[in-house]
Amino acid sequence: MGLAKRIIPCLDVKDGMTVKGTNFVNLRQAGDPVELGKAYSDAGADELVFLDITASHEGRKTFTDMVTRVAAEVNIPFTVGGGVNELSDVERLLYAGADKVSVNSAALRRPALIDEIAGRFGSQVCVCAIDARLDGGRWTCYVNGGRIPTERGLMDWAKEVADRGAGEILFTSMNHDGVKQGFALEALAELHELLPIPVIASGGAGKKEDFRDAFTLGKADAALAASVFHFGEIAIPDLKRYLRQEGIKTRL
């Protein structure tokens, strides 16, 4: 059956609290990130992702303190991102207890950052997040939390990211984010065919069947979601049992 598929709750953190929006806007609060992270760890999540969505200088200190608290409470791997611009940021977050670090805007602006992180800390530490929107038949990569379009297309950027040494790609479809109508399956399947590294599907989870489709049709290695977990719409143990019944290998 190959490697087990991973279920990854994502916690967007703003001013020390978990928030969730739709299409990257209209944020509402969802609770304390450390408590939520511990609850997900206890419920059988495979990994966690924490994103500092307002990584100003002050936010960084708050966020780093939170990472230290998370590391003390959870016993599963977790990735942190937001405002990671240089090796010292990676070092700070790993030292605080993170297992992996996610880069996005800074890598698009200076792709050599990926080579540097992989070279210094190993590919397994470097997760490259890609926020892309389907505009007129072409997937365009965005920076600054989905605010600014770039010239880069999803597939060519994903290929470069893998070539530069990233350990995995976290692909968020901005069209699908928070809409709960399913993941971007065609783009996921294309990424799977193109890349030698794992792909995490993000944006669009609304029901258990969406996760099944991400793994079977989208060929994703992991599926990430936020609101369906934060607001109690899908329980992780139920989801994993369902996926097992569908013939998808998960860690129970």
**Tokens encoding 249:** 């290998």
191 near 155, Cβ under 8 Å?
yes
CA distance linking residue 101 with residue 121, whole number of Å: 10
Residue type, 111: P
**Tokens encoding 30:** 């969802």
Write the DSSP assignment of 212-249 as a string of letters. HHHHHTS--SEEEESHHHHTTSS-HHHHHHHHHHTT--
Catalytic residues: 12, 131
